[in-house]
Amino acid sequence: MNSTRPDDGLVRVRGVAKHFGRKAAVSDCTFTLPEGSVTALVGPNGAGKSTLLSLVAGLVTPTRGEITVHGTPVRGRMHPDVSFLIQRRPLYDRITVREMMRAGGALNDRWSAERADEVLDLLAGVDRDAKVGALSAGARTQVSIALALGRMPKVLLLDEPLSDLDPLARDETLRIVMTDVAERGTTVLLSSHLLTDLGDVCDHLLLLDEGRVQLTGEVDGILADHRVLVGPVGTALPTEGAVVDVSHTSRQTTVLLRGGPEPEGWQAEHPDLVSLVMRYLRASRARRAPARERSRTGAPHPS
């Protein structure tokens, strides 16, 4: 019986940190992934996304904190309900797709050849007799996803599944993942820098910066909690809510505001996912930039 209440989330991460020597790759991360949710994991290079995915997968042991899947701790071992597609698809190029699938069956205690086959049959289908090394980047990704889903996971972790793919292959890869979500209610955590591709498929967002969670929750709620304000240069910044990012042209100032009432003197609208994340990323870069850069972009000084 599943002892996890729905509002507990299928995946729970509490106070998790991971240090590599003196470097904190992930610090004090707390979030939940509700069952059946599709979460975009975004953040600048080096934010800790791959480390966080490896922690949830159980491939890396946290320095502090606890991760559970379905109430069972994940610590230093791959959880049976989790599949992880790592960034560099580890496939054997010299064998055929059929042999690769057989290897998948031999290496996993729980394996559905039928499920893996279904994934290979999606879209144009993958030739089982082709050598893995001869496949296109899109077909390689499809084989990797077939191997991941053949394990019948409840949680699918994807690290940059769309990198190196052309727009059609990106779209098709996301369709394969979303088919699994629709048919089996799989919970997905997916890291990517390709924000426009994520907007259509992700209902939750996890934004990391310097190893820390900046935003987490339902996309709709996060967007509703933010406003993009546009006003003439010199308009006083809002005093309520949190100013995330400020940018100027010669005539107008644009502000990303989190929370607070709609301020007077500004034109306000809620951002879309891409503009929200872009403004957080720019604010993050400005925080790390020298003071000279901060004064050029008008970004707020780190508090």
Ligand X SMILES: Nc1ncnc2c1ncn2[C@@H]1O[C@H](COP(=O)(O)OP(=O)(O)OP(=O)(O)O)[C@@H](O)[C@H]1O
Q: Which residue ranges make up the site for ligand X (CB under 6 A)?
A: 20, 23, 25, 43, 45-51
The sign one gets for the Cα dihedral 228, 231, 233, 236 is: negative
CB burial of 145-173 (b: ≥16 within 10 Å; e: otherwise) equals bbbbbbbbbbbbbbbbbbeebeeebbbbb
State the nearest-atom distance from the C-beta of 30 to ligand X, in Å.
Answer: 17
State the nearest-atom distance from the C-beta of 84 to ligand X, in Å.
Answer: 13
State the nearest-atom distance from the C-beta of 232 to ligand X, in Å.
Answer: 37
Nearer to ligand X (CB atom), residue 50 or residue 96: 50
Nearer to ligand X (CB atom), residue 162 or residue 246: 162
State the nearest-atom distance from the C-beta of 214 to ligand X, in Å.
Answer: 13
Q: Are strands 23-33 and 72-73 parallel, antiparallel or unpaired?
A: unpaired
State the nearest-atom distance from the C-beta of 99 to ligand X, in Å.
Answer: 31
Please answer whether residues 11 and 68 qualify as being in contact, where contact means their C-beta atoms are separated by less than 8 angstroms.
yes
Please answer whether residues 33 and 39 qualify as being in contact, where contact means their C-beta atoms are separated by less than 8 angstroms.
yes
Nearer to ligand X (CB atom), residue 59 or residue 237: 59
Q: Are strands 187-191 and 38-42 parallel, antiparallel or unpaired?
A: parallel
DSSP E strand stretches across the chain: 11-20, 23-33, 38-42, 64-69, 72-73, 82-85, 155-159, 187-191, 204-209, 212-218, 226-232, 242-248, 252-258, 267-269
Nearer to ligand X (CB atom), residue 116 or residue 213: 213
Nearer to ligand X (CB atom), residue 20 or residue 92: 20
